[in-house]
Amino acid sequence: MPLIELRSHGRYDYVPLPDRPAFTWPGGKSLAFYICNNIEVFSYREGLGSDSAIVGAPQSSRNYAWRDYGNRVGQWYIFSLLDELGLPCAANFNALLFQTCPQIADRMIARGDEFVGHGRTNAERQDELPPDEERSLIVDSRDAIRDYTGTAPRGWMGPWLAETDETLDLLREAGFDYVMDWPADDQPFYMRTRAGPILSVPYSIELNDSPVMAYRQQSHIDFERMIVDHFDEMLTQSRSFPLVCSVVLHSFVIGQPYRLRALRRALEHVLAHRDSVWITTPGEIAEYYRSLFPAEN
């Protein structure tokens, strides 16, 4: 008998990495690599939001303007870098951006980037909402992307990676078939919902510029070294197991020019191994994995 009874989420079983089926990514590759932007919009001097220097600082004109730099300037630097390097991208996209910054959406559409549902604004988080209001947040985000782009998003990343006990059920009922809120693995895995399985796609909270530089106050050089070391070690580990390596960006953080220079160097290192890596998007990872391992309802 256990000493105590641990509360379980009941969403997936423990299956250690060596016990899983062998497979390869397209082209016989063993490592998949993707970049995911978080493109976000905030409420002026209210709600939630990051600060450039102080963790938990109250909302102010200063930190609002710092975040707005990302949409006005930093994101456009990132687009230029991605174009220069020939890299695809996905974006966790706040739905209210279609009203406030539609040119960003237009550029993503022109590039062929993937839109991932990311709530309405990062000034709110869904784990504070009752089920009906959380359902509305999810549906509002889905419908805004569908109405503007012509295609409903398949993937979801909640604002602040926040979930309630019902989030996965509500997402599956709204038509989402993969989620990136659960940083529990370096391979995709299925999770149970009352509407059928939903796929978890690996999403890094370690190779993520916001917690590294805005919250832990580490430098852009640290972030560059993290990307290089993480990628190199995953490339080595992928000789034994097929893996997913992701780099997560926020335009108001990495879009600062001195930080962008460090990202440029790190991505150039990754691209020196381009022939050995499947460079892709989370939606393509989900689609390919489901083709190998169809979900069992």
Task: Give me the domains of the chain, ranges plus CATH numbers.
Answer: 24-44+57-292 (3.20.20.370)
Average model confidence (pLDDT) across the chain: 96
What's the CA gap between 91 and 145, in Å, rounded?
Answer: 12
- Condensed to tens digits (0 to 9), the pLDDT of residues 20-69 reads 999 999 999 999 999 999 999 999 999 999 988 888 899 999 999 999 99
What's the CA gap between 55 and 51, in Å, rounded?
Answer: 6
Q: Is the pLDDT score of 293 beyond 70?
A: yes
Could you tell me the two tokens for 145? 């992307």
DSSP β-ladder status, 178-179 and 198-200: parallel
Average of per-residue pLDDT across 241-247: 98
Q: Is the pLDDT score of 247 beyond 70?
A: yes
CA angle 107, 148, 136 (to 5 degrees): 125
Could you tell me the two tokens for 115? 């839109």
Predicted local distance difference test score (pLDDT) of residue 1: 64
CA angle 67, 202, 293 (to 5 degrees): 145
Distances (CA, A) of 205 to 22, 171, 210, 222: 26, 21, 9, 15
pTM for the predicted model, two decimal places: 0.96
- Name residue 188's amino acid: P
Q: Is the pLDDT score of 283 beyond 70?
A: yes
